[in-house]
Amino acid sequence: MQDDARPKLIGSRVQRLEDPRLLTGAGGFVDDIQLAHTLHVALVRSDHAHARILTIDVSAVEALPGVLGVYTADDFSAKPLHATSRMKGYQSTGITALADGKVRYVGEAIAAVVAESRYIAEDAASLITVDYAPLPDLVDPRIAAASNVLLHEHHDSNILVSRKFARGDVAEAFANASVRVKDSFRFHRKTPLAIENRSYLADFNKGKQALTLYSSTQVPGVIRDALAEILAMPGHSVRVVAPDVGGGFGGKASLYPEEILVSLLSRRLGQPVKWTSDRLEDLLTTSQAFDETIDAELAVDKDGRLLGLKAEILGDVGAYSIYPWTAALEPMQVAGFLPGPYQLANYQAEVVAVATNKTPAGPYRGVGRPAAAFVLERLIDMAAKRLDLDPVEMRRRNLVQPHQFPYRTGSGIVWDQSGFTECLELACKGVDYPAFQAERNTARQAGRWFGVGVASYAELTGIGSRMSAAPGMPINTGTETATVEIDASGAVRATFGVASHGQGLETTLAQIVADELGVPVDGVQVIHGDSAAVTHSTGTYASRSAVLAGGAAHLSGQAVRAKVLEAAAFMLEADADDLDIEDGIISERGTNKTLSLAEVGRAVYSEMGRFPLDMRAELDLRATKFYDPEFGTTTSATHIAAVEIDPETFIVTVKRFLVAEDCGRLINPMIVDGQVHGGIVQGIGAALFEEVVHDQNGQALSASLVDYVAPSAAEVPKLEVLHLDTAARGTLGGYRGMGEGGTIGAPAAIANAITDALSHLNINISQLPATPERIYRLVTQAIEGDT
């Protein structure tokens, strides 16, 4: 930014531009869109986890008034789309609109009824009967891994991918260790649970032979490219629009069968076709998270220094590999991030991702890192206890120190630079750690089950082109584009390939553009979530949007500013270097000559004769720039929690929660805080309540919001967030991505706090969520073991 005296929008608590419409019910979510002659889809879904489909009897339905048709896999010839991987031995699975001959999880769609209304479609769907020949339900990944029964017949086994890696001398590290701690950790399955269910509306235009899909997706660009391939249509004839989207958290970051289905149906029927998930369908079919067993062991010297780490990670990835991220995503990221923000040179890990008869697993806020942080932070606390060392002191001794950056971790990930130790100290200061411990001790003496827990973590965000957002994924997502343009009225539009679904990108990106151009923030219209608005896009995931789109916004904003000043300089007969832009008014320093952006816009587009011919070739007020941070940047934080357990109900209450984090320069502190708060509460949910439960036949037992418990306001404490607010070195604007972090640290901090609260019983929390039932069992075992 040229003018440093000007008040900056970047860094201030600008009120969000998207709020007025969302607060008045004037937002536009997919299910709000009502196109004339829309047809509605209801799906017949499998109630078997693993079965061959023998017959589908639709005879009761065909004559029903209002039903336009019933479709099964036989009605479509589109080839399955495979998420491929560069990983050796990776076994891919295909994604199709409807199950073809076989079902692999409860809830998989088998037949689609198309009707004039959703009521009629559901009536009809309930009359369709499916005959199955059951196959063995492979629900336990250990059994599935060894089974001769294959989910996908073309595979060699149900192991979709396995990997081993090692760095340093792990054997020697363990041989030299004073203390070794190990456990078998289990982070159970959860679901992202956006409050808006998935919803898709396809609108095929016969005249143009073009398809528009309105989709509650985080990744309109990815979906566009996939649909173009599946439908065998040119990209310019497929448009995917993500309008207002009601939260994603990773659950809307992959291609879904229903997106393919409504698109195929709309093309076939020549009418708009809509499907909106209900909550049962969401809990059965939206991609799920975690579900790993991690056997890990940590070696530590007598001073508490980490010497080596070994881990075996068994991931239950469900029935299909998600598109485009592949089934390697979650378990491989666990292995990648397990060494954490610590000096830990010797590391070995083995990862096995197994297909089972469950809902496909996919990206979820934090991807792999919540499980990795849970395991390592527990091990560190276990070792600290053995050494009689304070958990904070243990971390202080092991965190990568400021002078050690860039630091290559035991898994090969490079932390460029981040405030690891600074966050730890800030968090301790924030809670007044000695007083905090004293409070815990007083509560303990009074017989209360009260504990405190600390967790530190780091994550890569804003990943550029040198890395893959998902391990082994062949598509690269390392650049982002922005087009900034000023029209003849002087109005500013900024167009991006990202897709906001609650992050407030319409505001934060407008702040950047407005600062660059010198216009009011509400004068910048941000376009996002529309594949047709940009040549190429993917979307919003992996904490990339502020870094990548923010960087592109700076570059294109600067380029347009230069064009404005060039035109204005000519009009004012001034030197461009002497011009400022403030509030949309261009003025020459030291004179009273001014011009408005509207005057420049009008001159450029409607009075171009005012400019010499040789200027006109380049004389539009528009620029498109790409930004590639190459490596990305490191975001880090320390979370501190205090919990109390009711010794009668075994319910855990989070009494206090504080985060100190380094997410670089803050574009809008209010929005950053909101992101952190939301992440923490999803982390609290993951730590205490949220669990997708399957029985031994693969039936989902958590199929309503009564059984799948998400935290409400009453289960959540006041949340405290502190920021380092120092610019990241490696990214334009100094931003780091921060949309996921809250969910990474909170489960680990809470697991440590619960373990602390139960220390009188010598209980280790090695499974999450720590539901009252699990704690009851642990306590009972501990007491019985004593007697």
The contact set with ligand FES (CB under 6 A) reads 195, 246-247, 502
Q: Which of 212, 42, 215, 204 is nearest to 117 (CA)?
A: 42
* Residue 721 interface partner, choices ligand FES, other proteins, none, CB cut-off 5-8 Å depending on type: other proteins
Residue closer to ligand FES by CB (options 710, 761) is 710
For CA atoms 259, 263, 269, 271, the dihedral sign is: positive
Closest distance of CB 554 from ligand FES, Å: 28
Query: CA 109, 112, 113, 116 torsion: positive or negative?
Result: positive
- Amino acid at residue number 181: V
Stretch that binds other proteins, among 156-164, 500-508, 637-645, 728-736 (CB under 8 A): 500-508
Q: Which is nearer to other proteins, 416 or 673 (CB)?
A: 673
Q: How far is the CB of 690 from other proteins (least distance, A)?
A: 11
State the nearest-atom distance from the C-beta of 739 to other proteins, in Å: 10
Select from other proteins, ligand FES, none the partner in contact with residue 24, using the beta carbon and a kind-dependent cut-off of 5 to 8 Å: other proteins
- Report the alpha-carbon distance of residue 550 to residue 553 in Å, rounded: 5
Least Cβ distance, residue 122 to ligand FES (angstroms): 16
Of 754, 187, 682, 719, the C-alpha closest to 453 is 754
Antiparallel, parallel or unpaired: β 306-318 and 346-355: parallel
Residue 36 binding other proteins, by CB under 8 A: no
Residue 127 within binding range of other proteins, rule CB under 8 A: no
Minimum distance, C-beta of residue 496 to other proteins, in the bound complex (Å): 18
Beta carbons of 663 and 672 less than 8 angstroms apart: yes
Separation of alpha carbons 554 and 772, rounded Å: 50
For ligand FES, give the closer residue by CB, 80 or 247: 247
Q: Evaluate whether 514 touches 521 at the Cβ level (below 8 Å).
A: yes
Q: What is the distance of C-alpha 468 from the center of its chain?
A: 15
Closest by Cα among 297, 372, 306, 379 to 337: 372
Within 714-773, the residues that bind other proteins by CB under 8 A are 714-716, 718-722, 742
DSSP symbol at 501: S
Q: Which two tokens stand for residue 500?
A: 């906001």
Q: Are 181 and 386 in contact (CB under 8 A)?
A: yes
Return the residue of 9, 31, 321, 771 that touches other proteins, per CB under 8 A.
Answer: 31
Nearest CA-CA partner of 209 in 184, 238, 230: 238
Q: Which residues contact 644 (CB under 8 A, 6 or more apart)?
A: 443, 448, 449, 450, 451, 652, 653, 655, 757
Tokens of 694: 């399957």
Stretch that binds other proteins, among 21-29, 257-265, 302-310, 560-568 (CB under 8 A): 21-29
Q: How far is the CB of 502 from other proteins (least distance, A)?
A: 3
Q: Provide the minimum distance between the beta carbon of 195 and ligand FES in the complex, in angstroms, as a whole number.
A: 4
For residues 282 and 566, which CB has a smaller minimum distance to ligand FES in the complex? 282
**Closest-CA residue to 637 (of 407, 333, 372, 340):** 340
Residue 681 within binding range of other proteins, rule CB under 8 A: yes
**Cβ contact 14:521 at 8 Å:** yes
Sign of the dihedral defined by the CA atoms of residues 387, 393, 395, 399, in that order: negative
Q: Rounded to the nearest whole angstrom, what is the least distance from the CB of residue 283 to other proteins in the complex?
A: 10
Comparing CB distances to ligand FES, the nearer of 66 and 247 is: 247
Instruction: Provide the minimum distance between the beta carbon of 22 and ligand FES in the complex, in angstroms, as a whole number.
Output: 8
The option from other proteins, ligand FES, none interacting with 451 (CB < 5 to 8 A, set by class) reads none
Among 24, 55, 148, 445, binds other proteins (CB under 8 A): 24
Q: Answer for the pair 349, 310: CB distance below 8 angstroms, yes or no.
A: yes
The entry of other proteins, ligand FES, none near residue 779 (CB within 5 to 8 angstroms by kind) is none
Task: Report d(CA 440, CA 444) in Å as an integer.
Answer: 6
Nearer to other proteins, 467 or 709 (CB): 709
User: In the sheet where 492-496 sits, what is the strand order?
Assistant: 524-527, 492-496, 480-486, 622-627
Nearer to other proteins, 5 or 36 (CB): 36
Q: Which is nearer to ligand FES, 196 or 720 (CB)?
A: 196
Q: Which is nearer to ligand FES, 250 or 502 (CB)?
A: 502
CB nearer to ligand FES: pick between 107 and 246: 246
Show the site string, 273-312: x = touches other proteins by CB under 8 A, - = not: -----xx---------------------------------
The residues, any chain, with a CB within 8 Å of residue 672's CB and separated by 6 or more, are 663, 666, 721, 723, 738
List 3, 8, 15, 101, residue binding other proteins (CB under 8 A):
15
Longest dimension (CA), the chain: 96
Nearer to other proteins, 266 or 276 (CB): 276
Residue 651 near other proteins by CB under 8 A: no
DSSP string, 700-760: BS--STTTS----GGG---EEEEE-----SSSGGGB---SSHHHHHHHHHHHHHHHHHTGG
| Residue closest to 645 by CA, chosen among 764, 472, 771 | 771
Name the 3-class secondary structure at 602. Answer: helix
Give the shortest CB-571-to-other proteins separation in angstroms.
35
The partner in contact with residue 23, picked from ligand FES, other proteins, none with C-beta cut-offs of 5 to 8 angstroms by kind, is: other proteins
Is the bond into 769 cis (omega within 30 degrees of 0)?
yes
Q: Residue 377, interface with other proteins (CB under 8 A)?
A: no
User: Whose Cβ is closer to other proteins: residue 197's or residue 495's?
Assistant: 197
Per CB under 8 A, contacts with other proteins among 101-120 are 119
Cβ 261 to ligand FES shortest distance, Å: 24
The binder of 474, among ligand FES, other proteins, none, by C-beta within 5 to 8 A per type, is none
Does 130 bind other proteins (CB under 8 A)? Our answer is no
- For residues 246 and 368, which CB has a smaller minimum distance to ligand FES in the complex? 246
Return the number of the residue (42 or 426) whose C-beta is nearest ligand FES: 42
Letters for 689-708 (x = contact with other proteins by CB under 8 A, - = none) are: ---------------xxx--
Note the helical H segments in 495-635: 505-517, 545-572, 597-606, 613-616
Q: Nearer to ligand FES by C-beta: 504 or 557?
A: 504
Which of 130, 138, 193, 201 forms a contact with other proteins (CB under 8 A)?
193
Site string for other proteins, 219-248 (x = CB under 8 A): -------------------------xxxx-
- 379-387, 511-519, 534-542, 713-721 -> range binding other proteins (CB under 8 A): 713-721
Q: Which of the choices other proteins, ligand FES, none does residue 367 contact, using the CB cut-off of 5 to 8 A by kind?
A: none
For residues 243 and 241, give the distance between their C-alpha atoms in angstroms, rounded to a whole number: 6
The minimum distance between CB 710 and other proteins, in angstroms, equals: 6
Tell me the number of residues near other proteins by CB under 8 A: 63
CB 497 within 8 A of CB 537: yes
Pairing outcome for strands 652-662 and 719-723: parallel
Residue 102 DSSP SS3: strand
CB closer to ligand FES out of 252 and 774: 252
Which positions lie near other proteins, rule CB under 8 A? 15-16, 18-29, 31-32, 34, 65, 119, 193-197, 244-247, 249, 278-279, 501-504, 659, 670-671, 673-682, 704-706, 710, 712-716, 718-722, 742
